[in-house]
Amino acid sequence: MQDLFFYLFAFLTLLCAFLVVANPFSRDPVTSAMFLVLTIVSMAGLFVLLHAFFLAAVQILVYAGAVMVLFLFVIMLLDLKEEQRRRFNGFGVVTGVISIAAIAAIFVKAIFESPAPGGDATPTLEGATKPLGRMLFNDYVLPFEILSVLLLVAMVGVILLSKKDLK
């Protein structure tokens, strides 16, 4: 049953991700954004299968709820109609696909040939919110604080960038 769900969500994730990147029917950025939302939601499904419930919720809350809405907001602010009519750069696409396929082959081969890690195929961890929180505020408290400063800096930067007269 779980395996079935894994294959379902993995298929959905990859299909939607493909449609983000190369949708044969539309080159509208809004379509890409909507398929990215679907990718993220199916990835949240994969997280649930990995027993990372907190991460699944955060994934939907932060990515689908905030980041993608920001994307849509910006896409709508910019007038991108003209962009859709551009030709593809054929040479670039072909070489890109070839090189990416090579990289993918290397990845997959590396994954299957590497020695199996310790707890292979016997998942031990029961993902829970409480231990995660404890870990976050004990072992990782310094990165956590630095991250909050990073967010503050990003916020100030964005406000500065959004000012009309950029100096």
Smallest distance from other proteins to CB 24, Å: 13
Smallest distance from other proteins to CB 111, Å: 5
Q: Distance (Å, rounded) from C-alpha 99 to C-alpha 150? A: 35
Nearest CA to 151 among 64, 65, 62? 62
Does 116 help bind other proteins (rule: CB under 8 A)? Answer: yes
Cβ-based neighbour number of residue 52 at 10 Å: 18
Estimate the crossing angle of helix 29-49 against helix 68-77, to 10 degrees: 180
Give the E-state strand segments of 2-160 in sequence order.
none
Residues 6-45 binding other proteins (CB under 8 A) are 6-7, 10, 13-14, 17-18, 20-22, 27, 29-30, 32-34, 36-37, 39-40, 43
Does 74 help bind other proteins (rule: CB under 8 A)? Answer: yes
Q: Which CA distances in Å does 31 have to 19, 34, 39, 53? A: 9, 5, 12, 28
Smallest distance from other proteins to CB 120, Å: 6
Cβ-based neighbour number of residue 53 at 10 Å: 15
Smallest distance from other proteins to CB 101, Å: 8
Does 98 help bind other proteins (rule: CB under 8 A)? Answer: no
Q: Distance (Å, rounded) from C-alpha 59 to C-alpha 57? A: 5
User: Of residues 85, 115, 166, 167, which one binds other proteins by CB under 8 A?
Assistant: 166
Closer Cβ to other proteins, 24 or 92, answer by number = 92
Does 73 help bind other proteins (rule: CB under 8 A)? Answer: yes
User: Of residues 85, 123, 142, 145, which one binds other proteins by CB under 8 A?
Assistant: 123
